[in-house]
Amino acid sequence: MTCPICKKPTDTSYRPFCSKRCADVDLGRWFSGDYAVPSTDPEDVETALDAADQEPQKPH
């Protein structure tokens, strides 16, 4: 198995990662919203659309 962040061999202490650094990089990606778990629940979709409508628009 290789680390999903840097592709080096994994370390059993940090599996599935090779180091604490790569584990922290992955966690940071979750926190920043880079990863998302899709939902097909209509209520979740409606809630997400409502939230997007309420966010301030960013200038282009």
Q: What is the pLDDT along the chain (60 residues), one digit of tens a residue?
A: 999 999 999 999 999 999 999 999 999 999 998 988 776 776 766 777 777 776 565 665
Could you give the CA distance from residue 22 to residue 41 in angstroms, rounded to a whole number? 32
Judge contact between 1 and 7, C-beta under 8 A: no
pLDDT of residue 12: 94
Give how far Cα 3 sits from Cα of 29, 37, 38, 47, 56, Å: 15, 20, 23, 34, 37
Q: Given 3.30.50.10, 1.20.120.1200, 3.90.1200.10, 3.30.70.1150, which CATH number is that of 1-54?
A: 3.30.50.10
What ranges do the domains of the chain cover? Answer: 1-54
- pTM (2 d.p.): 0.60
